[in-house]
Amino acid sequence: MRRKLTEAFAPLVLEILDESASHAGHAGAAVHAAKQGGAAIGNGETHFHVTIVSAAFTGLNRVERQRAVYQVLAEELAGPVHALALKANPPA
């Protein structure tokens, strides 16, 4: 995720927090695991909180910024990532 976000947005700030451990065992994670064949997914990294600040977001509203990030991370969101909390902002 870090590489893709950096290449796409050249962020001034990029924080990616893996919050998977605090979500282990909840119903959504279990359903996601079942969809992936019922086995543990990679190293269990399924829940993330991303904060990104980039000039690429200038002039975009909140929904447009989120869509841009989701598009870049489409492969991860279709696969191992179950949840993504996102703060995407232009520079202040």
Give the tens place of pLDDT for each residue, 72-81: 999 999 888 8
Q: How many distinct structural domains can be found in the chain?
A: 1
Structural domain that includes position 71: 2-89
How much is the pLDDT for 10? 98
The residue type of 15 is: E
CATH code at position 32: 3.30.300.90
The residue type of 64 is: E
CA 72 – CA 61 distance, rounded (Å): 17
The residue assigned the tokens 């065992």 is 25
Instruction: Give 26-67 pLDDT, tens digit per residue.
Output: 544 444 444 444 444 445 668 999 999 999 999 999 999 999
Comparing CA positions, the residue from 29, 25, 69 lying closest to residue 49 is 69
How much is the pLDDT for 90? 98
Task: Provide the whole-model pTM.
Answer: 0.75
